[in-house]
Structure 1
Amino acid sequence: MGKEYKGPDCIKGTSGYCAGCGHGIINRLIAEVLEEMGLEKKTIISLAVGCSCIMGDYVEVDKIQAPHGRAPATATGIKRMRPDNLVLTYQGDGDIASIGCAEIIHAAARNEKITTIFVNNGVYGMTGGQMAPTTLPHQVTATSPRGRDTSLTGMPVKLSEMIAVLPVAYVARGSVHNPASIKKTKSYIKKAIQAQVDKEGFSMVEVLAPCPTNWHLSPLASMERIEQEVIPYYTPGELVKKEGV
């Protein structure tokens, strides 16, 4: 946030994310919200395993690298010991909806006063584009070369809808496929963080994001795919909003 990236010389001045990746946009939105709310000095982020851990290079707040899927458990421990800090988890769909599904469900069921930013690009991005719990029906991935067969693998997991039935403070789903959606997603992130500041309970924002590399599409075509194929299944909007949030 305002400082030049000081990573290894071989990558200085370049992004750790692939061209057209949605993570960079989402990192920026989180950084903007924290700065606008004056919370950057109080924030601790529990980073997931996967592309999401690259965020540690770009957002200048305190952070911890959690084991795969355990970011909510790590964040729970931090928040209970340091209740005056703002505690976030930043997780991809493979991390949060597969190996970490139990952790996020039970953190929400306990209404832990943490905030989760969940990036949904429908694949395991860092490890080669394998099918994830969020992969759409018939979507081609490294492990579903003929397209996802839901008769064998089941339907894609709508994690936000699962969380929304629990006694939580705020749940929303946004996207970053065009400027209007980016602006709305930023407002969702701000509301989710405000819910924690107000001690309302658990809050989560799912963000639909492109993965051009593993979708085998150009960045522009990836944004178009979100609008044409992803949004019809994963409907954006606020799913849970307590009065006053």
Structure 2
Amino acid sequence: MTATTEINKIINEDNLVYKKTNLLLDNEMHYCPGCTHGVIHKVIAEVIDEMDIQNETIGVSPVGCSVLAYNYIDIDWQEAAHGRAPALATATSRLMPEKYVFTYQGDGDLASIGCAEIIHACNRGENIVVFFVNNAIYGMTGGQMAPTTLEGQVTATTPYGRNTALNGHTMKITEMIALLPGTRYVTRQSAETPAAVRKLKKAVRKAFENTTEKKGLSFIEIVGTCSSGWKLTPTQSNEWMKENMFPFYQLGTLKDE
């Protein structure tokens, strides 16, 4: 049992049964309206619950909106420095190889500050799962340009749109990771419709099953929204994502060995 789990004790004639509550904690949601993080949390929690691995799962969250995940999913958590979640997850997995270890990271954290950490963890083939939430912006710290910001996209630091000549090309880090020999499963999903959520859940389940089979690193990118950073309503954000991000970040599985 994790420390924060409420335990309902059911006393039978011969034994004592402990009944676990739902993995999603009853805390007030901190995310902005329309944010994709809440849906992703629910999917991850459902898979952990269905696989009955709550007590064997350890999440690693770094800096950014992703750090709030420990407020909502009732498992053991570690907090890493900005971008360093793959390094901490590597140590955790090697020290406790029987555990299901995953990182939960945003695009500014993983693709920019933590680029070296994720590349080398993937190249080594660490037996962990990486959840990479890509909303093409630094969400928590003011909406600055990230490596994943699209060409021409307006952000707090590119008020006239991202200029390739000045700011460099948009990074497709998931495609880069799929080329590394240590990755076994690399996929890009979304969570904007019920059908998309079902596909995402199937991918999450497969990733955790790969951990069971010691197959190496599974990497799931989730293309998401940032209504506050994009300065759009939740409905507009979904439409903008479909019209602009999906053509560039094409959904589907890039690698499955």
The Cα shift of 1:2 comes to 2.2
| 1:211 paired residue number | 226
* Matched letter for residue 195 of structure 1: N
Say if 2:209 is the partner of 1:189: no
Aligned pairs for 1:75-94 (under 5 A) are 75-94=89-108
Aligned pairs for 1:170-181 (under 5 A) are 170-181=185-196
* Matched letter for residue 150 of structure 1: T
Q: 1:182 & 1:136 partners in 2: Cα distance?
A: 24
* Matched letter for residue 229 of structure 1: N
* Matched letter for residue 153 of structure 1: N
Say if 2:8 is the partner of 1:25: no
The Cα shift of 1:151 comes to 1.2
Count of matched residue pairs: 236
Q: 2:141 & 2:236 partners in 1: Cα distance?
A: 22
Alpha-carbon spacing, 1:145–1:165, altered in 2? closer, same or farther (3 Å): same
* Matched letter for residue 42 of structure 1: E
Whether the aligned pair in 2 keeps the contact of 1:130 and 1:141 (CA below 8 Å) is yes
Per-residue Cα deviation, 1:23-71 (whole angstroms, up to 9, x for no partner): 0010111001111111111000110210000111000000000000000
Q: 2:175 & 2:25 partners in 1: Cα distance?
A: 37
Deviation beyond 3 Å, 4+ runs, structure 1:
3-6
Alpha-carbon spacing, 1:4–1:73, altered in 2? closer, same or farther (3 Å): closer
Whether the aligned pair in 1 keeps the contact of 2:25 and 2:73 (CA below 8 Å) is no
Is the radius of gyration larger for structure 1 or structure 2?
Answer: 2
Q: 5+ residue gaps in structure 1?
A: 7-12
Alpha-carbon spacing, 1:166–1:61, altered in 2? closer, same or farther (3 Å): same
> Helix, strand or coil for the counterpart of 2:70?
helix
> Helix, strand or coil for the counterpart of 1:166?
coil
Q: 1:137 & 1:156 partners in 2: Cα distance?
A: 7
| 1:120 paired residue number | 134
The Cα shift of 1:81 comes to 0.3
Say if 2:215 is the partner of 1:200: yes
Q: 2:132 & 2:39 partners in 1: Cα distance?
A: 13
* TM-score, L = length of structure 1: 0.94
Q: 5+ residue gaps in structure 2?
A: 1-20
Which is worse superposed, 13-22 or 223-232? 13-22
